[in-house]
Amino acid sequence: MGASDAPNATLGALDFEIPSGLRKVLCAARGEPVAAAWDGPRITALAVAADHRDAQAVLVPETALHTTPLLSGLEERLRKPVLTATAVTVWDALARAGEAPVRDGLGALFRSGAGRRPSSFAS
């Protein structure tokens, strides 16, 4: 997980966000809360720092970071899904509205086949 918040706040949120059966392998917290001003290279550096060879995905739960235009490039560089707060929120909203959450250029979450709701998802 990569976050711009202080390390202690990030770790507390991470413990809350990890569902049963998943485990965290690395947390990169920057302690710089003015994330809305971050540029692409800085966001990329955060995602790279949050990556770990044992991780199946990288979580960037920052709604202030402008990650959407970077998703495909981040996933290509890290060779794994990158899940952001904004992307996950939009995916869920589309699914709840009955729309197929499949869109080009928005990473693995929105690719064809990845847009299915988990069977445990309660409507």
pLDDT in tens, 45-92: 989 988 989 888 898 887 788 888 899 999 999 999 999 888 888 888
- 44, pLDDT greater than 90: yes
Q: Would you kindly state where each structural domain of the chain is located, as residue ranges? A: 2-86
pLDDT in tens, 2-31: 655 555 555 455 555 555 555 555 555 555
How far apart CA 106 and CA 85 sit, in angstroms, is 13
- 120, pLDDT greater than 60: no
- Would you say the pTM of this structure is higher than 0.85? no
Residue 7's pLDDT is: 55
Residue 27's pLDDT is: 59
How far apart CA 80 and CA 87 sit, in angstroms, is 15
